[in-house]
Structures are given as structure tokens and as C-alpha cells.
Amino acid sequence: MKFDTILVAKNNALAQITINRPKKLNALNSAIIHELSEAFKVLEEDKNIKVIILTGAGDKAFVAGADISEFAHFSVDEGGSLARKGQEILFNLIENLSKPVIAAINGFALGGGLELAMACHFRIASDNAKMGLPEVSLGVIPGYGGTQRLPQLVGKGKAMELIMTASMIPADDAKNCGLVNHVTTLEELLPLAEKLASKIMRNSSVAITGAIKAINANFKDGVNGFDTEIEEFGTCFGTQDFKEGTTAFLEKRKANFPGN
Ligand code: COA
């Protein structure tokens, strides 16, 4: 995979995508959005890859937002289309990806950057990270899912406050309100992401795909999450992973999941 704005590295079953525009604090322009979308699609199809880590280049920013210079002169229609297309081709794609995606937030995660991290399945952050949705300070609202995903993670009242005040919160506060799961030093951030990824990889990848679907179903309009869970639970019984997992338990050995 050859990209201009992102780096994609593979190490056995782990893939790492690094947004590589550090001079502009990895601000999301249209090229990055399209390349990220492409990379996630390719990695989803790659049978060898089990977990994906998403991070930003440099030691200052994960992503400092959507590229303000790209949309500053947009019309109403162009603004609406920017949000719609971005949500469709990237943010919703990541959220519904069949493989776990961990955001390793290595600095500023603002606006579209925090929205990108929130589209990932869970987040960890370095202790220099600062997070927020400052869009109202620019006269706009979050448009890449921030008004929906932030309340899901931190609750409605906290999300209202963060969005209305356009505040940037430090990593520890983000952990206290459930926005990130772990905080560590910048040096330890990727090792921690890799450790979590390898823990995930020991488990059944088909069961994990089912779990992602069932958890996400809770947040989809018109979908009954309990029904999705029942369906996905039943589906597991037809998989080789289920046979291996239950057999290994009964034989008192570690499971070696085939992943199908
Ligand atoms: N869009 C476009 N360019 C951005 C950007 C964004 N969201 N965030 C940072 N940059 C650019 C800056 O314009 C600057 O470019 P330049 O060197 O060519 O002037 C470069 O990245 C470095 O940023 P700078 O502002 O000089 O760094 P800083 O350490 O002084 O401040 C921030 C860091 C994150 C506080 C500041 O860059 C900022 O407020 N960014 C915008 C955050 C935002 O509102 N995001 C939501 C967008 S919807």
C-alpha cells in the first residue's frame, strides 16, 4: 500500500496507520480522508490483519481537526456535503469495521481529530494529549459525528458542556469521563496499544466481529440491539472458532483459533 498522507505498517497480524502531516498537526484534509478510507478498506480485506492501531505522526498531535483552510469558504451545500461524505466514507466505515480499531491519541485530538478517535472502537491517550470539540468557536458545529458519539461516551450533560464551551481537556480528565480508557506516557503509548492488541488477538476474531456488531447495534436508530446480539450469538455456534474455543476449554488447553 502506497499513500502520500498516511503511513501503513504491518507487523504480523497488527496494522498501524499513522496520519503523516505533522507540520500541520495532522489536520484532516480531503486527501487524508480518502487515503484513510482506502487503507481501512484494504486492511479489512487483508486476512492476515486482526487489529488496527490509528495514531498521528510526531509528538504533538493525533489530529488537530479538519483542515480549516479547506472549508473556510464553503457554501451551505458544500458544508453539508463535506460532513455527509466524510461520515460515510470514513467515520462510519471505521465504527462498523469488522476488525478492532484502537485510537492511540498522541497529542491534540481536536474537532475532526477527536471525532476520528471517537469513531474508533476504543481510545488510549498519552499524558500530553488534549481533547475537545472546539467547532462552535469557529461558528460551526461538529460534523463528523461528534454531537452523536461524544454523548454516547461521556453522557449528554458533559457533552453539552464540552461542545458549548469549546474546551480542551487534558488526558486525565478525558479518562475520568470515559472518553479514553487508559493514559500513559508518550513513549509507552504505542507499546500499550500493541499490548492491548495482542491481548485481543488471542481471542476469536469472528466472535469479536460479532461483538462489535452487537455493541454498535445499541446505538443505531431502528435496530434492536438485543435482537442483533441474539443473532450474532447464534451465528457463533456455526463457527470453527466456537468449536475450538469450547473444545480447548474442556481439554484444559489454550485455544488456537482458526479465525473462521
Ligand atoms: N486546520 C488547518 N491547519 C491547522 C489546523 C487545522 N485544524 N490545526 C493546526 N493547523 C496548522 C496551523 O495553521 C499551523 O500551520 P502554519 O505553521 O503553516 O501556520 C500548524 O498547523 C501548527 O499549528 P500552530 O497553531 O502553529 O500550533 P500551536 O501549538 O500554536 O497550536 C493548536 C496548536 C492545536 C491549539 C492550534 O493549532 C489550533 O487551535 N488548531 C485548530 C484547532 C481546531 O479548531 N480544530 C477544529 C477544526 S474543525
- Which ligand 1 atom is the nearest neighbour of the CA of 111? 46
115 labelled catalytic = yes
Which of 38, 45, 95, 115 is catalytic? The answer is 115
pLDDT digits (tens, 9 = 90+) for 217-259: 999 999 999 999 999 999 999 999 999 999 999 999 999 999 9
135 labelled catalytic = yes
**CA distances (Å), origin 134, targets 66, 81, 130:** 11, 20, 12
Using alpha carbons, select from 165, 63, 183, 195 the residue that is nearest to residue 119.
63
CA dihedral of 94, 141, 78, 116, whole degrees rounded to 10: -20
pLDDT digits (tens, 9 = 90+) for 22-76: 999 999 999 999 999 999 999 999 999 999 999 999 999 999 999 999 999 999 9
pTM of the full structure: 0.98
Using alpha carbons, select from 115, 121, 87, 149 the residue that is nearest to residue 212.
121
Whether 67 is in the pocket of ligand 1, judged by its Cβ within 6 Å, is yes
